[in-house]
A and B are shown apart, each in its own frame.
Chain A
């Protein structure tokens, strides 16, 4: 009975992670024995990336090199880097764990992460490239008064980066504890220190190449895993699914269900379950994922690393292709976890279907089951590398916001020289690195499952509306953009705090006391953001507003044709 109870606790924790909080929870883990294979593999990865950083450092001379790798990344390379930013440890381990425990719901969840990409391609990618230079504020503030719009963009960037960073750091600490058998604090410090080295010395060039290498390793790893899983079932998905249903049925009947109920529970993994509770939550959450992607600062900055609009479009197409491919494989690997891991007494309690070491071990255990200890070490190292690469990208985008938007534009009124700006970026990188380590340790015991979905909701409600309206709507003014943007920011954070995933799960207030009943605030906070921008723009009758409206046609010419767009290369 005790086992059954712990199984349900685990299941609830997983559901809380993937359903309520709408972000795969890296959740509860136990420290494992030191895994030398994984540590050696990771050591090789680190040595390789440090070598690249040294090479990149020699090429990082100007601010343009630091922020955008001199604009010299090709569409294919950038597509891999974007996909790498997106295929975080949370999607790799969290979604495969969600498929293992809920089956089809894991697929619904991953689709939500994919569907924003076409919209970015159709509406934003080339406009971003044509108007932008280093940060998304260059685009949003193209014809606006610089001080207020930059102050807003920097706040939007730093808030999103902070929540994303905390989630990654806590995930890193817990994962490394699990996979490498190292202490939590050690893992957090290693991630912080390595990330600082990449960003400080290698800037965007190193950050991009670390991400590309990791993306290739991850894609190769999951391809091999999915291939091996399918090979065990004669490359018949039907045979794999049948076996999965059989295992789930057996687990259900072990928990005391009648044969009929057990068969029903077993089959339930093949169809939608509890993931979509009510239509409002479903739509709201879908909007956060769809439009949030178009407002994440560390993704947006990647559009400035390619030479022109053509390459910008190619990069999103490659990114979408790799991410879609990745999610299809993750679904197969999740089923592989049911059939190969949950049935193996070494990895799980076969009777109850509880995984040893926590649900997030699903994907790495599949690796061990199909590829032995060496491949297990490889996948563990890839998981660590994943966090490291994403954290480096986040830090770089935070540092750009401080040095390019706040320091160079707001404080120095655009008169800072490239060297001084670069120095500020590096100081900020060190500060952000230290802050990330401190926050990672401070939040160790907190339930942080809501943080990634909050980052998406803020990006969708603050950054995206400002970007969208300033580029596409001629009557948008500085006042409208800044007030509307801040309203979106404040409302998305506020509604998240009073939603069940924070109010009840993190702050511990009684069940049912949350004021805001839905999973995600995006439907409401995005509306507030857009309505705010519209209202305060049309009410703006100042002389400045007239000037900004008059400047729209010129902005439009540049955004549509690339005329006058900042050059391919800074040198």
Chain B
């Protein structure tokens, strides 16, 4: 049942470090995304006039850059996570797997 390699990985301090760093980062970004999206929804639900006010003299409202901003934020935050996960976290994972196969 118990795989010796699995045991070795579990005892490796780098494994704990990986879990701590990556999960902490993942949950932090999750929280940020939820805040931004539900903040936007709350703004619509409770303060429509704020979003409907024009910027400057034209018809473009504040809601347009804010809405577009949510889209851009969504793509950026995904990019930030993937960038760090595909370099730092994957390097750490590779080290853990290398240690385990020794």
Contact = CB atoms under 8 A, between A and B. Distances in A.
Interface of A: 104, 107-108, 111, 114-115, 117-119, 121-123, 126, 237-238, 241-242, 245, 267-268, 270-272, 275-276, 278-279, 282-283, 286, 290, 309-310, 313-314, 316-317, 320-321, 324, 327-328, 553-554, 557, 560-563
A270 B26 contact: no
A115 B82 contact: no
Given A118-B33, A279-B42, 8 more contacts: A107-B67, A121-B82, A122-B26, A271-B52, A310-B90, A320-B78, A557-B15, A563-B97
14 contacts: A111-B37, A114-B71, A118-B29, A119-B33, A126-B85, A241-B64, A270-B63, A271-B52, A276-B45, A279-B41, A314-B82, A316-B82, A560-B19, A563-B9
Interface in B26-49: 26-27, 29-30, 33, 37-38, 40-42, 44-46, 48-49
Contacts of A290: 37
Contacts of A283: 38, 41
Interface centre among A290, A313, A321 (most CB of B within 10 A): A313
Interface of A is mostly: helix
Nearest to B41: A282
What are the 7 A-B residue pairs with the smallest beta carbon separation, nearest first?
Answer: A271-B52, A122-B26, A279-B45, A317-B82, A270-B61, A115-B37, A313-B82
Contact of A276 (B15, B41, B93): B41
Contacts of B67: 104, 107-108, 111
B27 to A, nearest CB: 7
Contacts of A320: 74-75, 78
A557 B78 contact: no
Interface string B71-101: 1101101110110011000100100110010
Given A317-B79, A553-B6, A270 B45 contact: no
Given A283-B41, A317-B78, A561-B15, A115 B26 contact: no
Contacts of B33: 115, 118-119, 122
Given A121-B81, A321-B75, A328-B68, A272 B52 contact: yes
Contacts of A317: 78-79, 82
Interface of B: 2-3, 5-6, 9-10, 15, 18-19, 22, 26-27, 29-30, 33, 37-38, 40-42, 44-46, 48-49, 51-54, 58-61, 63-64, 67-68, 70-72, 74-75, 77-79, 81-82, 85-86, 90, 93, 96-97, 100
B79 A123 contact: no
A526 to B, nearest CB: 14
A118 B86 contact: no
B45 A278 contact: yes
A115 B77 CA distance: 11
Contacts of B70: 111, 115
Contacts of A327: 71
A324 B72 contact: yes
Given A121-B81, A272-B44, A313-B86, A111 B30 contact: no
Contacts of B9: 557, 561, 563
A320 B54 CA distance: 29
Contacts of A321: 75, 78-79
Contacts of A270: 52, 54, 59-61, 63-64
B37 to A, nearest CB: 5
Contacts of A115: 33, 37, 70, 74
A310 B86 contact: yes
B75 A324 contact: yes
Given A276-B44, A283-B41, A241 B90 contact: no
B86 to A, nearest CB: 5
Contacts of B86: 310, 313-314
Contacts of B22: 560
Contacts of A561: 9, 15, 18, 93, 96-97
A271 to B, nearest CB: 3
Contacts of B3: 554
Contacts of B52: 267-268, 270-272
Contacts of A122: 26-27, 29-30, 33, 81
A329 to B, nearest CB: 11
B7 to A, nearest CB: 9
Contact of B90 (A108, A268, A309, A557): A309
Nearest to A107: B67
Contacts of B5: 563
Contacts of A324: 71-72, 74-75
Contacts of B46: 279
Contacts of A126: 85
B59 A286 contact: no
A544 to B, nearest CB: 14
Contacts of A114: 71, 74
Interface centre among A115, A283, A309 (most CB of B within 10 A): A115
